Amino acid sequence: MVPRWRLLSSFNCISMIETKINIKEYLIDAQGKKLGRIASKAASYLMGKNRLDFARNIVPSVRVKIENTSKIFVTNKKMEGKIYKSYSGIS
């Protein structure tokens, strides 16, 4: 439970009420899994698409932790063939 402050305004009077929000934590083990699959799974958790009360206009309070990121499966073709270019003019 993390305290979060909520402002209430009534009759030109502002008062602060402390509200409690549950933060759900998800743990993803990346050992031997492909990079894109891990990214899409983390994105769906962060958007809240795995919840029954999913709504597009509500941001869920979620944390995603990814373990064993050094052991992610990446093919040699992507490691050798992917070229990142920067056109900002700063070297």
Contact 28, 62 (CB under 8 A): no
What would the mean pLDDT of 77-90 be, rounded to a whole number?
74
E-strand ranges in 11-69 read 13-21, 24-29, 62-67
Range of the domain at 69: 30-74
CA 10 to CA 33: how far, in whole Å?
53
- Is residue 80's pLDDT more than 90? no
Between residues 90 and 63, the one the model is more confident about: 63
Based on the structure, what is the number of domains in the chain?
Answer: 1
Whether residue 91 lies inside any domain: the answer is: no
Confidence label for 15 from pLDDT (cuts 50, 70 and 90): very low
Q: Is the residue at 66 inside a domain?
A: yes
pLDDT exceeds 70 at position 24: yes
pLDDT digits (tens, 9 = 90+) for 32-77: 999 889 999 999 999 999 888 888 888 888 999 999 988 988 877 7
Cβ within 8 Å of residue 48, ≥6 positions away: 54, 58, 59, 60, 62
Looking at the domain assignment, is residue 49 inside a domain?
A: yes
Whether 18 is in a domain gets the answer no
CB burial class (10 A; 0-12, 13-18, 19+) of residue 13?
Answer: exposed
In a domain, 86, yes or no: no
